[in-house]
Amino acid sequence: MDWMKPGLQMKDPEGLTVGFGLESQTTEFLIYHYTMSLSKWRKIRAFTVFSCIVTFTTFLFSYTLRDPSLYFFKYAIRKSDSFFSKGQCGCRQCMTELEDDPWFTERFNLSVHPLMSRRNSLLTDDTYRWWQWLQAEQEPANFSEVVEKLFQVIPDADLYMDAGPERCRTCAVVGNSGNLKGSRYGALIDSNDVII
């Protein structure tokens, strides 16, 4: 091994001293490749740290700001679960899966029935005052009399309370906006089970 000559020492990324005793061309070749591998190692380490920071920040903001960027993953997980078991309704997304939308969860009251009947026609004081204000008359109608006349005309039944994994019901909330005139949404609106 007469080609090895003492003299060249380098430190690797872990700090260990490595000695080389090679001729000058071979030494330059090794120094070049050692420097390149050290540079690649530093780039990989920097990229890994950067990726960890971006991932942590994304999860942090998605959780604290309720950003829907992770809803894709929730949807994908829910779809894989529904492959093995049925959901709470037959729709693509059920209103009873409230954890998917924090805004809706805060405002939706499950104890309120979707349609009024004689049994659930009691109003809170605030709602009663609002109902009277809507009439804008000097002598507003008696609410109990209105309810009694109403259920002589329409059925008095607790409808749409029987949700199940095989049923999907939809509704359209239309209002009386002039924006719908000529919009050709009639067939789309009529395709719903309930129109409000």
Q: What is the pTM of this model?
A: 0.40
Q: Alpha helices, DSSP H only, in the chain?
A: 24-64, 71-84, 102-107, 125-135, 143-153, 186-190
Q: CA 192, CA 172: separation in Å to the nearest integer?
A: 6
Owner of token pair 């420097």: 35
- Is residue 149 pLDDT above 80, yes or no? yes
For residues 15 and 149, the model is more confident at: 149
Question: 3-state DSSP call for residue 195?
Answer: strand
Q: Which of 193, 121, 112, 111 is nearest to 150 (CA)?
A: 121
Instruction: Decide if 195 contacts 171 (C-beta within 8 A).
Output: yes
Tens-digit pLDDT profile for residues 162-191: 777 778 888 888 877 777 888 888 899 999
pLDDT score at 134: 83
User: CA of 192: how far to CAs of 40, 113, 169, in Å?
Assistant: 60, 18, 7
Tens-digit pLDDT profile for residues 2-60: 444 444 455 555 554 455 544 556 666 667 667 777 778 788 888 899 988 988 887 76
For residue 68, the 8-state DSSP code is G
Instruction: Decide if 80 contacts 72 (C-beta within 8 A).
Output: no
Say which amino acid occupies 188: L
Owner of token pair 């061309």: 25
Q: Residue 150: enclosing H or E segment and its boundaries? A: helix 143-153
